[in-house]
């Protein structure tokens, strides 16, 4: 059974977060074999996942943010 491109995109997104079921993954790969547009989307989408996991994010710890907020509020009320 052939799935639509919308469905394929949906399954592809879910796959990026390991949330596509086995059936969905099979249906997706069949669709990708015959749909050029979706294969393009799929490979870019996979690459985006890769980029996001490779990127270095230095997140400020929540405690630091709280401190910043407090100091900002203090400065604002003066």
Partner 1 sequence: MTAHSLHPETWVDRYADYLYNYTITRLGDEELAKDLVQETFIAGLESAPKFKGNAAERTWLTAILKRKIIDQYRKANSKKGKAEVRMNFSENADRDEDWLEAMAADPDSIRENDSIENVELGLAIQDCIAGLPEKQARVFEMKTMLGMETEDICKELDISPSNLWVIVHRARSALMSCLNDNWFR
In eight-state DSSP terms, residue 35 is: -
Q: Does 37 bind partner 1 (CB under 8 A)?
A: no
Tokens of 70: 């407090």
Q: Which is nearer to partner 1, 39 or 45 (CB)?
A: 45
In eight-state DSSP terms, residue 59 is: P
Q: Does 39 bind partner 1 (CB under 8 A)?
A: no
How far is it, in rounded angstroms, from Cα 70 to Cα 78?
Answer: 13
How far is it, in rounded angstroms, from Cα 17 to Cα 8?
Answer: 15
Q: Does 2 bind partner 1 (CB under 8 A)?
A: no
**Which positions touch partner 1 (CB under 8 A)?**
9-10, 13-14, 16-17, 19, 44-45, 47-48, 51-52, 54-60, 64-65, 68-69, 71-73, 75-76
């Amino acid at each position: 059974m052939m799935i639509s491109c919308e469905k394929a995109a949906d399954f592809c997104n879910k796959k990026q977060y390991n949330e596509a079921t086995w059936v969905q993954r099979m249906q997706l790969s069949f669709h990708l074999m015959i749909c050029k547009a979706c294969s393009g989307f799929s490979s870019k989408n996979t690459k985006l996942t890769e980029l996001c996991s490779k990127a270095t994010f230095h997140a400020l710890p929540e405690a630091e943010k709280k401190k910043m907020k407090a100091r900002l509020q203090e400065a604002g009320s003066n």
